[in-house]
Amino acid sequence: MTTTAPARGRTGAQGSAPPRLARHRTGRTGPTLVLALGALYCLVPVVWVVVASTKARSELFSTFTFAPGSGLLDNLRDLFAYGDGQYGLWVLNTALYAGVGALLSTLVSVMAGFALAKYRFAGQRVLLYAILAGVLLPGITLAIPQYLLLAELGLAGSHLSVLLPSVISPFGIYLSRVYALSAVPDETIEAARIDGARESRVFTSIALPMMLPGMVTVFMLQFVGIWNNFLLPFIMLSDQDRYPLTVGLYTLLSKGSGEPALYSIAIVGAALSIVPLVAMLLFLQRFWRLDLISGGLKG
Amino acid sequence: MTTTTPRAAHGSAATAAPAGAPRRRRRPTLAPYVLSAPAVLLYVAFLAVPIAYAVYLSFRGLRLTGGGAFGRRREVWVGADNYVAALTDPELGAGLLRLLVYGAIAVPLTLGLALLFALLLDMRGARLVRFSRTAIFLPYAVPGVIATLLWGFMYLPSTSPFSWVTRRLADVTIPFLDVPLLYPSLANIAIWGGVGFNMIILYTSLRGIPDEISESARLDGASEWQIALRIKVPLVGPALVLTGLFALIGTLQVYGEPATLKPMTSAISWTFVPLMKIYRDAFLRDDLPLAAASSVVLALGTLVVSIALLRLGQRRVFGEQS
């Protein structure tokens, strides 16, 4: 049944009209409409938070939610005045955890990935298995054990306690390995060696430049991953001045349930925090090699 | 599974190696050890050792020793007591059940919508492709906690635009944050945040399908939808398995979203999802051993589920190839 119906449709289309015309008629408005609906769905909350951030406290609960208000400047002033400028610290902390963390993570990943892909060495098999097991292990369930350990060492609560666990990324190493296998030809490495290049030079002058698109991908994934990881900083940190934006805004909101004045601050803080990341994402989008991920299962 | 993925990966390593120069290398080199040293050190410090420590802790417990008035609470070996306590705790079971309801809504819808959008983007004749792709991908840049904050305000009766409309029309507010609507409301946040990323992964693998395949089907008179369902979907099977795996792991780890919504509604308890219960045990009740045992159970559970899914996926993919 399912096979006959399309077959009949096919002969009909061939008989009556040129296939190209039929295709145009069916294939334009429907898909476009669905895509536009999807885009609308994804944009609505973002538009809402931007509009809501312009509202004065009294307008937030009274005027129509998508009507812009008149309190943007006041809200911004309140936001940056909150807790003696804690918001600014949260931004800096986020830049440290996600920015520096992702940068270090990319470097560590690309080094290990290249070694796994292009050398034979003792313990290689064990390392590869360990990395693969790490990919499947939910990172977030590690947060509590990591806290216990760092607390023993007296490191819990420091910037390092959030930064260091974020640097190791089994998935990043795995992707780097897949990318190194496909992007760095063995002949190029061998040619460099014959020309007398040392191994360090092979890595810095040959491997790194060739792996750059893969590195951008790993960096972005890791950046968003760290920026998204709520539980780790939430568990590790007790000093509000060391919070990243996510934990900071969370505490604002949980206080806000008793103190609705904090809602406007939380809203303008949320609106402001997604702007730079969205901008970066849009900019870096063109350098992404996400086919890496879809190819990862086979590789 | 611990056997299959590594085997697949090893297979590719083996195919890469014969062509590779490294084998013919004359002098031994320290390079691979130096290159992988930072990763190994960090792996041991922040994965292996914490796991080992959690496992150790999960077999420990505070017990009264000495007896009588002089008895002291000391940390001793308690065997599997913590595991028994964790597994028989009705709250953990209830949390898993809530997770199941949440996941049963979030995972299929995330993947289904991601596949639908990816197919539409890849389809001939669709307009607004670039704009839609960027717009749908945009929520990926919004962290879960902030996404929850945005949607939380969209749900909260006093600020919700949806309830604003229904209040004007029928003088009712939509109880987004009460059971049973709470589950779809929570799932919606995950769907909103996850569709774009999965869509891009599926879209990139759709783009990897050679044009000739679709073109020849088109010449045979197949419609765009037939091409999409019969040819493209089976070919992106591996990517679908992978995105399914991500979505599933994400579901089991859900913490930030319900925790952020908690101040807005009384329907979310301290033990709403397993990770919230673990957090409560560890930090509000100071029962670290129990929390460690629950963490181990959750991590093992996730591992087993993802392994099973990968197995299933590989069989499916191989079955279709043969």
Domains of chain B: 89-321 (1.10.3720.10)
- Using DSSP, state whether B253 is helix, strand or coil: coil
Whether A93 is covered by a domain: the verdict is: yes
Examine the pLDDT at A113 and tell me if it is beyond 90.
Answer: yes
Examine the pLDDT at A61 and tell me if it is beyond 90.
Answer: no
Element (H, E) at B322: none
Looking at residue A231, what is its pLDDT? Answer: 87
Residues A141 and A234 in one domain: yes
Q: Per the structure, how many domains does chain A have?
A: 2
Q: What is the CATH number of the domain that holds A194?
A: 1.10.3720.10
CA angle B120, B121, B127 (to 5 degrees): 95
Whether A106 is covered by a domain: the verdict is: yes
Contact B238 A121 (CB under 8 A): no
Bridge partners, residue B76, by sequence: B61
Residues A84 and A222 in one domain: yes
Examine the pLDDT at A236 and tell me if it is beyond 90.
Answer: yes
| Mean residue pLDDT across chain A | 82
Whether A58 is covered by a domain: the verdict is: no
Examine the pLDDT at A15 and tell me if it is beyond 70.
Answer: no
Whether A287 is covered by a domain: the verdict is: yes
Query: What residue has token string 């790490």?
Result: A134
Residues of chain B with pLDDT under 50: 1-21, 23, 25, 318-322
Contact B150 A45 (CB under 8 A): yes
CA distance B69 to chain A (A): 31
Whether A66 is covered by a domain: the verdict is: no
Percent of chain A topping pLDDT 70: 83
Better-predicted residue by pLDDT, B314 or A279: A279
Looking at residue B39, what is its pLDDT? Answer: 95
**Residue range of the domain that includes A207:** 80-296
Better-predicted residue by pLDDT, A83 or A170: A170
Of the given ranges (A134-138, A203-207, B121-125), which has the lowest mean pLDDT? A134-138
Number of A/B CB contacts below 8 angstroms equals 349
Residues 236-295 of B with CB under 8 A from A: 236, 238-239, 241-242, 249, 252-253, 255-256, 259-260, 262-264, 275, 278-279, 282-283, 288, 291-292, 295
Query: What residue has token string 């061939």?
Result: A14
Q: Which burial class, exposed, middle or buried, applies to B166 when counting CB atoms under 10 A from its CB (0-12, 13-18, 19+)?
A: middle
Assign 3-class secondary structure to chain A: CCCHHHHHHHHHHHHHCCHHHHHHHHCCHHHHHHHHHHHHHHHHHHHHHHHHCCCCHHHHCCCCCCCCCCCHHHHHHHHHHHHHCHHHHHHHHHHHHHHHHHHHHHHHHHHHHHHHHHCCCCCHHHHHHHHHHHHHCCHHHHHHHHHHHHHHCCCCCCHHHHHHHHHCCHHHHHHHHHHHHHHCCHHHHHHHHHCCCCHHHHHHHHHHHHCHHHHHHHHHHHHHHHHHCCHHHHHHCCCHHHCCHHHHHHHHHHHHCCCCHHHHHHHHHHHHHHHHHHHHHHHHHHHCCCHHHHHHCCC
The verdict on B173 touching A (C-beta cutoff 8 Å) is: no
Element (H, E) at B29: none
- Is the ipTM higher than 0.85? The answer is no
Residues A222 and A286 in one domain: yes
Residues A133 and A244 in one domain: yes
Q: In Å, how far from its chain's centre is CA A8?
A: 47
Examine the pLDDT at A100 and tell me if it is beyond 60.
Answer: yes
Q: Which of B30, B113, B159 sits opposite A60 (nearest CB)?
A: B159
Nearest-Cα residue of chain A relative to residue B298: A141
Residues A118 and A217 in one domain: yes
Q: Which of A111, A134, A278 sits opposite B36 (nearest CB)?
A: A111
CA distance A297 to chain B (A): 7
Residues A27 and A172 in one domain: no
Contact A246 B145 (CB under 8 A): yes
Whether A124 is covered by a domain: the verdict is: yes
Whether A70 is covered by a domain: the verdict is: no
Looking at residue A164, what is its pLDDT? Answer: 93
Q: Cβ(A244)–Cβ(A90) under 8 Å? A: yes
CA distance A254 to chain B (A): 5
Element (H, E) at B65: strand B60-65
B180 prior amide bond cis, ω within 30: yes
Examine the pLDDT at A298 and tell me if it is beyond 60.
Answer: no
Looking at residue A282, what is its pLDDT? Answer: 78
Residues A285 and A187 in one domain: yes
- Calpha distance A52→A65 (Å, rounded): 7
Residues A276 and A135 in one domain: yes
Q: Cβ(B274)–Cβ(B295) under 8 Å? A: no
Looking at residue A256, what is its pLDDT? Answer: 66
- Using DSSP, state whether B76 is helix, strand or coil: strand
CA atoms within 13 A on the CB side of B247: 34
Residues of A in contact with B153 (CB under 8 A): 48-49, 52, 263, 267
Examine the pLDDT at A211 and tell me if it is beyond 80.
Answer: yes
Residues A237 and A292 in one domain: yes
Residues A211 and A292 in one domain: yes
Residues of A in contact with B252 (CB under 8 A): 138
Q: Cβ(A284)–Cβ(A220) under 8 Å? A: yes
Residues A274 and A159 in one domain: yes
Looking at residue B316, what is its pLDDT? Answer: 58
Assign 3-class secondary structure to B174-214: CCCCCCCCHHHHHHHHHHHHHHHHHHHHHHHHHHCCCHHHH
CA distance A38 to chain B (A): 6
Looking at residue A14, what is its pLDDT? Answer: 40
Whether A68 is covered by a domain: the verdict is: no
Contact B146 A246 (CB under 8 A): yes
Residues A256 and A121 in one domain: yes
Q: Cβ(B295)–Cβ(B55) under 8 Å? A: no
Query: What residue has token string 């410090």?
Result: B45
- Calpha distance B317→A245 (Å, rounded): 42
Q: Which of B12, B113, B124, B146 is best to mutate for the A interface (most A CBs within 10 A)?
A: B146
* Backbone phi, psi, residue B64, to 5°: -75, 125
Residues of B in contact with A144 (CB under 8 A): 54, 278-279, 282, 291-292, 295
Contact A253 B224 (CB under 8 A): no
